[in-house]
Amino acid sequence: MRKYLFIGNTNENTGPANVNKGIVKHLSSSFCTSFSNNKLCKYLNSVIKTLFCEVIVVSGLSKVGMYSSKLGKFLGKKTIYIMHGCNEIEFSLNQMPVNKKALKYEKYFLTNADLILPVSKRYSEMIQEKYPICVGRTSYLHNGVDKADINCVTVQREKGRVIAVGGDRKLKNNIVVANAVAKLDDSKKLMVYGHLYHPDDLPKGKNIEFKGLVPQKQLYEEMTKSELYVLNSIYEPFALSVFDALLCGCSILVTNVAGALELLNVTEHDVIYDPMNKDEIAEKIEYILQHPNNERLMKNLDFDKISYEAEVKRLEQFCKMLCQKSRS
């Protein structure tokens, strides 16, 4: 019998969905999944498998995940919630209308999950501080990094080309990056990719372009053309894009709130300490373009230790631990 049920969205091209695809690809035979393109089949599948599993792993928020968890709780099963982000925090920072359904699901898992796994140690500490009810039920599970997922084409890297992702979302803070690049000479060029919510309010400049959404494959190509990737978020549970950029040959400049920093051997020149300070960002962009950090950071990364395979093994250990607790 397969002991553990994994539930998570793999149908979209979002960060959590891409992580779920990586997890599913490396699950052992102890796991089963409930995927189906037919909504009714997906619900029936998850109900049936919930009846026969010991632990339900829900990665991200979904109705099917909540229903399976509720059924599991009634039957005495254990639930693990992999927490990719916090809707309450994100809606506030992005100044967007609150999604009441998402908040309802989130509150349920934070209150009822037997184990909560935010995607970095720093983020785990933040969640426990904000929600004391989670203390004692929270550890962390890093997102996996798989070199094989990045197929970068060989193209000419453009001197002075800087790239950022996340469009104009408030929490990604790319407007400040644009204002920083505007302070530099015209040999520096910023390309920002991602959804544009307020296209008429973007900074203008001949060396600044907000390009909108592009497919993931094209984004890797754009990273390969660039010298530097800048992540200036004011909130960032993990930041898988940092590793995408490194694997595409970019140097990186990363906000000090990113969970990914736990896995990187950075210096003070690689980190943004005040994401609202355009002078600090401009100075560090200039510095890294003259002193690239990609080779140094890649040399110190142990990809075997941070791979999906390693993280899935850790997830399975968490499942075993919950099973042992329920039997004792």
pLDDT the model gives residue 151: 65
The upper half-sphere exposure of residue 245, i.e. CA atoms within 13 Å in the direction of its Cβ, equals 24
> Which is nearest to 67 in space by CA: 117, 20, 104?
104
pLDDT given at position 39: 79
Instruction: Answer whether 4-144+307-327 and 147-299 agree in fold.
Output: yes
Q: Given phi > 0 = left and psi -120 to 50 = alpha, else beta, which region is 284? A: alpha
Q: Cα 69 from chain centroid?
A: 23
DSSP letter, residue 72:
H
Q: What is the mean pLDDT of residues 97-123?
A: 94
Q: Sign of torsion, CA 81 82 86 90?
A: negative
Domain extent listing, the chain: 4-144+307-327, 147-299
Average pLDDT in the chain: 92
Q: Whole-angstrom Cα distance, residue 87 to residue 99?
A: 8
Give the H/E segment covering residue 4. Answer: strand 4-8
Residue among 229, 234, 289, 309 at smallest CA distance from 264: 229
* Region of poorest pLDDT, from 59-63, 88-92, 127-131, 241-245: 88-92
CA 16 to CA 143: how far, in whole Å?
9
Predicted structure pTM score: 0.93
Q: Which class does domain 147-299 fall in?
A: alpha beta
Q: At 269, give phi and psi (nearest 5°).
A: -75, -20
CA distance 146 to 299: 16
Average pLDDT of the segment spanning 262-286: 97
Task: Give residue 1's pLDDT.
Answer: 57
pLDDT digit string, tens, across residues 209-262: 999 999 888 999 999 999 999 999 999 999 999 999 999 999 999 999 999 999
- Weakest-pLDDT range from 52-56, 83-87, 93-97, 113-117: 93-97
Q: In which band, very low, low, confident or very high, does the pLDDT at 55 lie, cut at 50, 70 and 90?
A: very high
Distance, CA of 128 to CA of 139 (rounded, Å): 10
Q: Is the pLDDT of residue 49 over 90?
A: yes
Work out the angle at residue 318's Cα, subtended by the Cα atoms of residues 34 and 128, and round it to the nearest 5 degrees.
100
User: Which has the closest alpha carbon to 280: 239, 232, 236, 238?
Assistant: 232
Domain 4-144+307-327: assigned CATH number: 3.40.50.2000
- Tokens representing 124 are 């785990």
> How far is it, in rounded angstroms, from Cα 124 to Cα 135?
10
Q: Per residue in 141-200, pLDDT tens?
A: 999 988 776 766 667 899 999 999 999 999 999 999 999 999 999 999 999 999 998 888
DSSP states along 167-200: TT-GGGTHHHHHHHHHTS-TT-EEEEES--S-GG
**Stretch 12-35: mean pLDDT, rounded?**
91
